[in-house]
Amino acid sequence: MDARCPVRTLELTVQSVEGLRLDRKPATTKNNLFVVVRAESINSYTTCMAKEDDTNNNLTWNHKLDVDVPLHASSITLEVKSKTLKGVKDVGIARVAVSEFMGGFGSVPQHCLQFLSYRLRDWEGRRNGVLNFSVRVVNSPEYFYTNNLSGTNGDLTNSFK
């Protein structure tokens, strides 16, 4: 028997950030910005450093991550951070409910690409930009119904495939 917790795999692409400020100034590529994604587990996933978008002066990553999300997870967290000479500084955080892109059982088809934009907040709760990303469920444990032959009533039981 496998002791690991069942997970669903998300293809999460961190695309860009708009209106991000660092020390009351517009954030730039000089701020060495990156995003850390967590899904209620000790595992974290990190993007590359942000690049400047020539068309609208936004910072972009366009970095694709395969994120394993435990089935018990109710949210994922995206944290924008800045690498400085003194260490890593937290810039903004967005917490996204898993139900936003999973919905109820069977409501969002697997492999359906969804584009989301979330308001970032700093650690004092103030607004600090908007993070744009896309998400697609790549792998999710499938449920199937089997006939319970050991019982006399023939009930259907929910079990993992």
CATH of the domain at 24: 2.60.40.150
Count: domains in the chain: 1
Domain-embedded: residue 2: no
Q: How far is 94 from 12, CA to CA, in rounded Å?
A: 14
Give the number of other CB atoms < 10 A from CB of residue 136: 17
**Per-residue pLDDT tens over the stretch 18-64:** 999 988 899 888 899 999 999 988 889 999 999 988 777 789 999 99
More confident residue, 103 or 117: 117
Q: Is 1 part of any domain?
A: no
| Residue 50 resides in a domain | yes
Distance CA 58, CA 52 (A): 6
pTM score, whole prediction: 0.79
List the domain range (segments joined by +) for residue 144: 7-160
Torsions phi, psi for 41 (to 5 deg) = -145, 175
Residues 115-160 pLDDT 10s:
999 999 998 899 999 999 999 988 766 543 333 344 444 444 444 4
Is 80 contained in some domain? yes
